[in-house]
Amino acid sequence: MLNQNILALGKKRSTIREIFEFGNQRAKIVGRENIFDFSIGNPNVPAPDSVQQAICDIINTQHPSSVHGYTSAQGIEDSRTAIAESLNARFGTDYSAKNLYLTAGAAASISICFKALTASPEDEFIVFAPFFPEYQVFIEHGAGAKCIVIPAQVQDFQINFEEFEKNLNPHTKGVVINSPNNPSGVVYSDETISRLSALLNAKSEEYGHPIYLISDEPYREIIYDGIKVPFIAPNYKNTLVCYSYSKSLSLPGERIGYVLVPNTVDNFGDVYAAVCGAGRVLGYVCAPALFQHVITRCAADIADISIYEENRNILFEGLTSMGYNCVKPEGAFYLFPKTPEENDYAFCERAKKYDLLLVPGTDFGVSGHMRISYCVQTQTVRRALPLFEKLAKEYGL
C-alpha cells in the first residue's frame, strides 16, 4: 500500500550515505581518527571567516523578522543581484536577479529542473557515466521521466560522443553534465564543450524543439594546476545552470544554491516560470533565509581549497606508484581509479577491513572502479596510503 519504489529508496538509501552511517558506527568503536572515510563529499575545509562573520553580523544587526521571515519564492532580490554580479565579474556575462532562482542546494536545483521540464513520461534525460547516482532517482521517481545512461569513455572520462549520438532522439528533453565531475574529477575540455554544443544545436533544430543542457556545477571553483574551466552557459543557449555553495563556501548542510536561467534560453519567461512552479510543487517554499542573506554578502568568496590540491597530489602519486590505474583529476575532490578486481563491490568490502571507506564505481554507472573522496585532512590521506598499499599487495599489484 506504500509506494514500493520509494520505500526501496528509503530502505536502501544511497550507498554513499549507507557507508557514511557505517563509518559513524565504526567511529564509535575504534575512534574517529582511525576511520579513513573517503566515502562522502562532506568538505572538511571550514567555511570562510567572512561567512562566519556575516552570520553573526546579520544576527546582531538586523531585525529577526527580516532575517528569518519568508522571502519571495525566487529568493531575496539583493541576494540574486549579488550572485549575478559575481558571475558577471568572473565570466563577462550580463545576468541579473531575474535570471536566478535560489534553491535549497544543488540537489533541489536539479530536481526542480527535471520536474519543470518533464511534460510526458516519454521524455528522456541523458546522463554520462560516471554520474552522481541521485540524478537517476530525481529523473525517474521525482519527475517521472526516463533516464538514459551513456557508457563511460574510461580512458579519459570525456564524453563518449559515438554512444551519445546514438541515443539522441525526439524524446530527448535534456542532457545533464557535471564538470568538474563527481566522481571522476575530470574537467570537460574546450573541445568536448564545443562538440557537445554543436551536436545539441543540430539536434534541437532537427527535432524542432530545444534540448536543454542541465549543467550541474557545484565543483566549478575547485580546480587544479591553474587550469580554466570553460563556463558552459555562454557556449550553448539552452543551458540551465544548477549551483550550490556546498563546496565553494563549505556549507553542504545549509542547503543553499540556485538555478540560473539565462536570457538566451528559448521562451525564457516560460522556462523561468516552470522552474518556479516546480519548486512550489516539490514543497520548496523559499531557500533558507539566513543563508540567502549570507550569500548577499559572500557571493564572491571562496573557502581555502588549497588542501584539496595537496591531497590530490599525494593520493594520485601514491596510488599510481603502487600500481593503481587512474585518470588524473583536474578538479572536484574525487579520484576514480580502477579497482584491482573487476568486482568493485567486493573490492570496497575488502577495503573495509582496513577501515578504508570507498564507494564502488558501479554506483556511478561504471563498474570496476572506486570513488575516493579526498575532502579530508591531509594527515588522513597520508595515514591511509600504507593501507592502500596493503590492499594493492593483496591483489599482487
Looking at residues 173 to 192 of the shown chain, list those that interact with a second copy (rule: CB under 8 A).
173
- Looking at 15, 39, 111, 215, which residue binds a second copy (CB under 8 A)? 111
- Looking at 180, 185, 218, 288, which residue binds a second copy (CB under 8 A)? 288
Q: Does 264 bind a second copy (CB under 8 A)?
A: no
Which listed range, 31-39, 48-56, 87-95, 304-312, lies at the site for a second copy (CB under 8 A)? Answer: 48-56
Which listed range, 66-74, 178-186, 226-234, 311-319, lies at the site for a second copy (CB under 8 A)? Answer: 66-74
Cell, residue 330: 583536474
Q: Does 42 bind a second copy (CB under 8 A)?
A: yes
Q: Which is nearer to a second copy, 20 or 345 (CB)?
A: 20
- State the DSSP code for 331: B
- Looking at 23, 43, 183, 361, which residue binds a second copy (CB under 8 A)? 43
Q: Three-state SS across 34-81?
A: HCEECCCCCCCCCCCHHHHHHHHHHHHHCCHHHHHCCCCCCCCHHHHH
The span from the CA of 18 to the CA of 100, in Å, is: 34
Residues 303-342 that bind a second copy (CB under 8 A): none
Q: Does 28 bind a second copy (CB under 8 A)?
A: no
Q: Cell match 532575517: residue?
A: 67
Q: Which is nearer to a second copy, 25 or 155 (CB)?
A: 25
Which listed range, 156-164, 219-227, 271-279, 380-388, lies at the site for a second copy (CB under 8 A)? Answer: 271-279
The span from the CA of 179 to the CA of 243, in Å, is: 12
Q: Does 100 bind a second copy (CB under 8 A)?
A: no
- Looking at 15, 215, 239, 250, which residue binds a second copy (CB under 8 A)? 250
Q: Which is nearer to a second copy, 194 or 306 (CB)?
A: 306
In sequence order, the β-bridge partners of residue 147 are 125
- Residue 76 CB contacts under 8 Å (≥ 6 apart), including other chains: 102, 289, 292, 293, 296
- Residue 369 CB contacts under 8 Å (≥ 6 apart), including other chains: 130, 154, 183, 336, 337, 338, 339, 344, 360, 361
Q: What is the dihedral of CA 359, 364, 368, 370, to 10 degrees?
A: -30
Q: Does 271 bind a second copy (CB under 8 A)?
A: yes
The total of other beta-carbon atoms located within 10 Å of residue 332's CB is 30
Q: Does 72 bind a second copy (CB under 8 A)?
A: yes
- Looking at 110, 327, 356, 357, which residue binds a second copy (CB under 8 A)? 110
Picking from 313, 305, 304, 320, the residue whose alpha carbon sits closest to that of residue 381 is 313
Q: Cell match 545576468: residue?
A: 95
Least gap, CB of 224 to a second copy (angstroms): 21
- Looking at 73, 148, 302, 322, which residue binds a second copy (CB under 8 A)? 73
- Looking at 39, 100, 102, 105, which residue binds a second copy (CB under 8 A)? 105
Q: Cell match 531585525: residue?
A: 63
Give the x/- contact pattern for a second copy in 112-151, rule: CB under 8 A. x--xxxxx--------------x--xx--xx-x-------
